[in-house]
A = this chain, B = another copy of it.
Amino acid sequence: MYNLKNDYSNGCHPSILKRLIDTNDTSQEGYGVDEYSKEAKQLLMAKVGNPKAKVFFASGGTQANLLVIAALLKSHEAVISVKTGHISCHEAGAIESIGHKIITVDSEDGKLKPSSIEEALKRHDLSPHVVKPKMIYISNATELGTFYTRKELRQLSQFCKVHELFVFMDGARLGNALRAKGNDLSMNDISTWTDVFSIGGTKNGGLLGEAIIFNQAGLAVDFDILLKQKGALLSKSRVFGVQFLELFKDDLYFSLAEKANHMAIKLAKALQNEIGCPFLMEPTTNQIFPILPNEWVRILEQNQRFHVWKTLDDQYSAVRMMTSWNTQDGEIDLLIKELKEYNNDNE
């Protein structure tokens, strides 16, 4: 049984475990000010190329998202997201739980556009009867596996500046976006055009952990108290420091993302070229959404783990297949072989 259901089924990259062992016996301060965390923060600031940035660590994506939103929004302020945005769909009401409305807009490709934000602002012009939109939330890569180009992010950023909206990029799969074919966005661009963004460690080689990067120090004042208050500050914070040191030393983070993307694209190309399979979304990162006959889906489910994204009709469904840094060539080859057999049987 191979696994294309998600990118967190296995443990972490072995070099992280090795470093945890190597550093295990040193005595460190806790709660975020251990030496490894400090060093990792410096390293990330250098990668981002923004000496004014402030870096923090959280355990997971939902935690990072709720912390950032709690830090930047006042009670009456709201965040704009596409409907498929992670905060809107898959965080069990985490954002509402800290008091904020998520204003959702439609999007075909999972990306937020200035025109949609504008429409959301218009829907919220009846003050004081409506919340005040004050932030946009975007994911890169998105929940549909797509990514933002430089031009797109710059335009979003400019639009938001004019309308006094914070730009928050959820980078749970940032490596996959930045290593996608066609990507022209750099870490420094992101630091320039967002107010705050996260870098997901858990789904790209880490054991647990997301880095949160505020691009202006002023936005991060007292953020450590908020971390503590929301239960996010680990006493043995070295766990985060060690991981991010290892992931960003020699850009391991990016080479792992590249490998995950490579596996997904290899699978996508085989599906397209050898089976003529259409896709819900152009495949670019480690999440691809082939459209398969429902009959195949039923058979595949018996020895594959993947997610049925959307039943299109009686005949077809879009499925989500997700690769990770430790997806093996053999797994992909076997799957392609199996699908080709179905295809031959059908013809």
Residue numbers of A with Cβ under 8 A of B are 3, 6, 8-12, 14, 17, 20-21, 23-32, 58-60, 62-67, 70-71, 74-76, 78, 89-102, 126-132, 202-203, 207-208, 222, 224-236, 238-239
Complex: A75 Cα to B99 Cα, angstroms:
11
> Which listed residue (B6, B67, B225) contacts A132, Cβ 8 A?
B225
Q: Tell me the number of copies of this protein.
A: 4
A251→B275 CA distance, assembly (Å): 56
Q: Say how far A297's CB is from chain B's closest CB, in angstroms.
A: 18
Which residue from chain B places its CB closest to the CB of A232 in the assembled complex? B231
Could you tell me the distance between the alpha carbons of A230 and B26 in the complex, rounded to whole angstroms?
32
- Residue numbers in B under 8 Å from A23 (CB-CB): 11
Q: What B residues does A234 contact at CB under 8 A?
A: 59-60, 202, 208
What are 28 A-B contacts with C-beta separation under 8 Å? A9-B28, A9-B30, A11-B20, A11-B26, A17-B21, A31-B129, A60-B235, A64-B231, A67-B231, A71-B75, A74-B222, A75-B97, A75-B229, A76-B97, A76-B226, A89-B129, A90-B126, A92-B129, A92-B228, A93-B100, A93-B130, A97-B229, A128-B225, A131-B229, A207-B236, A208-B234, A208-B239, A230-B230
